[in-house]
Amino acid sequence: MPSHPPTDDGNWRHRLGSPQFPIEPDRYFLYLGLFCPFAHRALLACELKGLSQYLPCSIVKPYPKEDGGWRFPSTDNEYPGSTVDRLFHSKFLHEVYFKSDPGYKGKYTVPVLWDTKTDQIVNNESEDIMRMLNTAFNDLLAENPTQRELHLYPTELQPQINEINSRIPHLDMGVYKAGTASDQKSYESSCHMVFDSLNFFEAHLAQHPNNIFFLGSITEIDVKLYTTLVRFDPVYQPRFNLMSGSIRQNYPHLHRWLKHMYCKVPGVKETTNFKHIKDFYSQSHADMNPEPIEPLCSVADLEVWTEEDEKWLVERDTA
């Protein structure tokens, strides 16, 4: 039996910095998937905080998912962007789960935060991991004051963050419910959930037209919405029948915010792999795409930051 078994919902929810899991150099490790919006949150928080030297990672392939679940490539060159399991040389992610709990019966998801000292999972809940990475390693960032002082969940903004956070699950759940709906009524209800959410986020930015981030400075709201919305036009809209609008054509404030995140915030573009994202949704959803067909598209996955955008940014900064 593991010394710290998972919770009843199949998740490990231990805390970095607790007596059981103190912060030490070279102790912790992340398992990620570049295709997954929830794992992307943890990766982006890690990158923004400059933690890659303290928190190495291994990355599973975006497909196939059948016959064993997420798997690692046999070499780092097999599928660019994915890596071998650097800790255990596992073939499948489920092998890592079983190392922590041989009797585990839940899902084998990413992200996973692993403790190399006690050989067990610390946490596999994306929001927990994102928030822990926000502050847990600050004492190790003495030579990087900008990254140490970056706070994605600052006390003074928590009421606003919590309010907007309450809307994000409606967007995330609505996307998948629309794509997997088995009848017209359920599909339409889920579509309304998605576009009502997008309308809310667009209206928020419209009310604060000079904000380059949702609440003035970058917070976890920007992290969580980015990892969802960067997938919207290239995969969610065509794959999940969300044809009532696109970010680039129907949501100008969200579109500029999304481009700014990708093009102007260091570390964001580096964590975004459109090949992994699109391969996952075309290759690992046999119920929706049984012949793994990748749609042709005549536009870029995300539009570039333009001279007009830069002019707006300069005028905003000098106003």
- Which amino acids are annotated catalytic? 36
Distance between CA 207 and CA 199 in Å, rounded? 12
Q: What are phi and psi of 27, to 5 degrees?
A: -105, -35
Length of the chain: 319
Helix axes 126-135, 220-229, angle to 10 degrees: 140
Both structure tokens of 282: 């075309």
Judged by DSSP in three states, 123 sits in strand
Q: Which residue has the tokens 């309010």?
A: 163
Q: Using an 8 Å Cβ cutoff, are 162 and 215 in contact? A: no
Q: Determine the residue type at 179.
A: G
Distance between CA 123 and CA 117 in Å, rounded? 15
Judged by DSSP in three states, 182 sits in coil
Q: In whole angstroms, how large is the CA radius of gyration of the chain?
A: 20
Distance between CA 92 and CA 90 in Å, rounded? 6
The sign of the torsion formed by the CA atoms of 148, 224, 101, 97 equals: negative
Residue 135 CA: distances (Å) to CA of 48, 116, 157: 12, 20, 16
Q: Using an 8 Å Cβ cutoff, are 29 and 57 in contact? A: yes
